[in-house]
């Protein structure tokens, strides 16, 4: 029998192959694409709440609100509401409302911050979990007009922009304006931050010459409309506290609307 097995190995090989084939998982019926691709592992967890260091100094804060990730840079009152998208190998991308990536989180939790000055990214790490001062101080109804006036004065002093702000002040200052007021404040503040960004770039002269009014109002969807030197910013209270354009979205709209026409 030992000699017979040695002389005829193929039946045994076939038997082993059959056993392995039966033990293998069945292919998925109806698979549309069997081409190789990077594995989409379970996406990494979102970065935890707290203050984050990059290059040995505090750069930003993270705070979650329901399923949204909120970002606030140290020294700024603007709060960004980020979109989260899974990436290959369990990574996750966090994006502004413009679609630009601001952070990536690896499958093992490493965080990289991207800024206009650091396009290749900066490693960031959690420094502490104290975010008691994450939200900027609210603006009272009685102070709304003076808040807008101070923004306008700052734009003249710091960027040579002659830009005013208008809204339905009576509605925002009344009892029915409690939900609208924070979004209106954010819209005006974000417009001021957008102009501060533009003041550093090549579109400054054209924007300063032709842009003179920011109008904020409630709309069906958050949005921006630029027409004849007036920018209308729409916010939508029913969609939550992040339902207004960011400063980056506002800056992109103004730069596109007032960029010099290239000479032929």
Q: What is the pLDDT of residues 185-224, one digit of tens each?
A: 999 999 999 999 999 999 999 999 999 999 999 999 999 9
pLDDT of amino acid 123: 96
Tally of residues, the chain: 264
Q: pTM for the full model? A: 0.81
Instruction: Determine the average pLDDT of the residues in 96-106.
Output: 96
Instruction: Encode burial over 74-111: b for 16+ CB neighbours within 10 A, e otherwise.
Output: eeeebbbbbeeeebeebbbbbbbbeeebbbbbebeeeb
- Rounded to whole angstroms, how far apart are CA atoms 154 and 146? 12
Closest CA to 58 of 81, 78, 76, 79: 76
Q: What is the pLDDT of residues 230-240, one digit of tens each?
A: 999 999 999 99
- Rounded to whole angstroms, how far apart are CA atoms 137 and 51? 18
- Pair of tokens at residue 201: 């770039």
- List all residues 6 or more positions away from 46 whose beta carbon is below 8 Å from its beta carbon: 64, 69, 84, 92, 94, 105
In percent, how much of the chain has pLDDT > 70?
A: 81
- Pair of tokens at residue 39: 């594995």
What integer best gives the mean pLDDT of the chain? 85
Instruction: Determine the average pLDDT of the residues in 85-95.
Output: 91
| pLDDT for residue 41 is more than 60 | no
* Residue ranges per structural domain of the chain: 50-128, 141-258
pLDDT grade for 29, boundaries at 50, 70 and 90: very low
């Amino acid at each position: 029998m030992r000699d017979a097995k040695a002389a005829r190995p193929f039946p045994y090989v076939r038997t082993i192959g059959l056993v392995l084939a039966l033990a293998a998982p069945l292919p998925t019926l109806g698979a549309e694409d069997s081409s190789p691709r990077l594995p989409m592992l379970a996406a990494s967890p979102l970065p935890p709440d707290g203050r984050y260091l990059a290059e040995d100094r505090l750069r930003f804060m993270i705070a979650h609100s329901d399923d949204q990730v909120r970002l606030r840079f140290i020294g700024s009152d603007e709060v960004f509401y980020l979109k989260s998208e899974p990436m290959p190998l369990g990574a996750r991308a966090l994006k502004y409302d413009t679609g630009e990536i601001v952070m990536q989180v690896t499958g093992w939790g490493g965080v990289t911050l991207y800024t206009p000055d650091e396009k290749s990214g900066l490693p960031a790490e959690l420094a502490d979990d104290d975010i008691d001062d994450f939200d900027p101080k609210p603006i009272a109804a009685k102070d709304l007009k003076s808040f807008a006036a101070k923004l306008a004065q700052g734009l003249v002093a710091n960027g040579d922009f002659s830009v005013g702000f208008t809204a339905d002040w009576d509605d925002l200052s009344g009892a029915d304006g409690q939900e609208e007021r924070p979004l209106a404040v954010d819209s005006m503040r974000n417009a001021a931050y957008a102009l501060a960004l533009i003041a550093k770039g090549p579109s400054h002269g054209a924007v300063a010459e032709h842009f003179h009014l920011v109008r904020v109002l409630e709309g069906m969807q958050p949005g921006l409309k630029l027409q004849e030197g007036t920018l209308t910013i729409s916010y939508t209270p029913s969609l939550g506290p992040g339902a207004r354009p960011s400063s980056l979205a506002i800056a992109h709209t103004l730069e596109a609307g007032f960029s010099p026409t290239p000479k032929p």
